[in-house]
């Protein structure tokens, strides 16, 4: 069967770029939270506080899984490889450079297993019971700028260790990072691209983009989306100009474009177009 598929990859940038080859600098900056976490296996009252002394905790890197350290025992569940769960705490101290001043700051976790709660500088940001989904918290209201210390604390509760038919691990078992953006930004996971019609002659591309205005004032925006072919060349451009988003508001915009003679994706030729 000949399936009409158009492979599309989404890159979030939000900057104007010239026609032709595109290598833009994005105003969205990521800071990996990989090293110098402190970790303690077991529950510790007050570990979310900035004044808490974690100097005797272990230093670990994220991603991290404490279950794999064992010990193996028949008392644990077969689905988790007879390895223990339990409760664990993580703490990370970091500073923001001068480039972050006036920006919005978010923390992104690709996955924590499971039943996590996250604090920044002693303020609870929320809880996430599910262990597989990615999630984001806004640190901005509680963040400290100008090089001052910020303390991120994470409590993970995998006490119900017999909760899976396969090995899950325990802890911050996927990457984590800071995301630093302007006040007007494309929302997290805010770009949704579909190809309603694809044929040998042409392809229709539908781009749905959600924009956040995190500022205290109304802000005008211009939204331009570029479609790059597998050779990294611009083959279509669509713009939405003159839009206004209210203070602390959010709007979703839909753009459509057509490209001719599309290179269709297949297992034999897994080419991808890019929406930027």
Q: What mean pLDDT is reported for the chain?
A: 90
C-alpha to C-alpha distance for 70 and 117, rounded to whole angstroms: 24
pLDDT, average across residues 172-187: 96
pLDDT band at 4 (very low <50, low <70, confident <90, very high): very low
Whether the upstream peptide bond of residue 54 has omega within 30° of 0, thus cis, is no
Q: Which tokens sit at 8? A: 């599309």
**268, 227, 29, 155: CA torsion to nearest 10:** -60
Q: How many CB atoms lie within 10 A of CB 43?
A: 13
What tens digit of pLDDT does each residue of 30-88 get? 999 999 999 999 999 999 999 999 999 999 999 999 999 989 888 887 777 888 899 99
**Tell me, what's the pLDDT at 13?**
44
Whether the per-residue pLDDT at 228 is higher than 90: the answer is yes
Question: What one-character-per-residue DSSP string does 159-225 give?
Answer: ------SS---SBS-S-EEEEEE-SEEEEEEEEEEEEEEE-SSEEEEEEEEEEEE-SSS-EEEEEEE
Residue 97 contacts residue 109 (beta carbons within 8 Å): no
Location of each CATH 2.60.40.10 domain in the chain: 8-27+185-275
Whether the per-residue pLDDT at 257 is higher than 80: the answer is yes
For the domain covering 30-181, report its CATH number: 2.60.120.260
Which residues neighbour 78 within 8 Å (Cβ) at sequence distance 6 or greater? Answer: none
Q: Is the dihedral of CA 30, 34, 35, 39 positive or negative?
A: positive
pLDDT, average across residues 179-192: 94
C-alpha to C-alpha distance for 239 and 245, rounded to whole angstroms: 16
**Tell me, what's the pLDDT at 16?**
33
Location of each CATH 2.60.120.260 domain in the chain: 30-181
Q: Could you give the percent of the chain with pLDDT greater than 90?
A: 78
**Tell me, what's the pLDDT at 3?**
40
What tens digit of pLDDT does each residue of 103-156 get? 999 999 999 999 999 999 999 999 999 999 999 999 999 999 999 999 999 999
**Tell me, what's the pLDDT at 220?**
94
Q: How many CB atoms lie within 10 A of CB 210?
A: 16
Which residues neighbour 247 within 8 Å (Cβ) at sequence distance 6 or greater? Answer: 213, 215, 216, 217, 218, 219
State whether residue 86 is helix, strand or coil.
strand
Question: What one-character-per-residue DSSP string does 96-163 give?
Answer: --GGGTT-EEEEEES--BSSEEEEETTEEEEEE--SSS-EEEE-GGG---TT--EEEEEEEEE-----
Residue 266 contacts residue 5 (beta carbons within 8 Å): yes
CATH top-level class of 8-27+185-275: mainly beta
């Amino acid at each position: 069967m000949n399936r009409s598929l158009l492979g599309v990859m989404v890159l979030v940038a939000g900057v104007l770029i010239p026609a032709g080859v595109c290598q833009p600098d994005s105003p969205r900056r990521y800071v990996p939270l990989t090293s110098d976490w402190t970790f303690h296996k077991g529950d510790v009252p007050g570990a979310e506080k900035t004044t808490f002394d974690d100097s005797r905790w272990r230093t670990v890197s994220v991603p991290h899984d404490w279950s794999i350290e064992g010990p193996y025992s028949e008392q644990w569940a077969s689905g988790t490889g007879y390895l223990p769960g339990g409760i664990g705490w993580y703490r990370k101290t970091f500073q923001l450079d001068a480039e972050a001043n006036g920006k919005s700051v978010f923390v992104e976790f690709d996955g924590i297993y499971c039943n996590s709660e996250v604090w920044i500088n002693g303020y609870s940001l929320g809880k996430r019971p599910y262990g597989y989904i990615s999630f984001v918290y806004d640190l901005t209201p509680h963040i400290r700028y100008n090089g001052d210390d910020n303390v991120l604390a994470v409590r993970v509760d995998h006490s119900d260790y017999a909760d899976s038919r396969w090995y899950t691990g325990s802890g911050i078992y996927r990457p984590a990072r800071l995301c630093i953006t302007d006040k007007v930004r494309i929302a997290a996971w805010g770009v949704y691209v579909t190809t309603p019609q694809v044929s040998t002659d042409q392809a229709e591309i539908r781009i749905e983009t959600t924009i956040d205005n995190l500022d205290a004032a109304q802000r005008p925006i211009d939204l331009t989306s570029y479609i790059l072919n597998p050779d990294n060349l611009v083959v279509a451009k669509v713009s939405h100009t003159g839009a206004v988003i209210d203070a602390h508001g959010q709007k979703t915009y839909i753009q459509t474009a057509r490209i001719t003679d599309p290179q269709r994706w297949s297992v034999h030729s897994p080419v991808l177009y890019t929406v930027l």
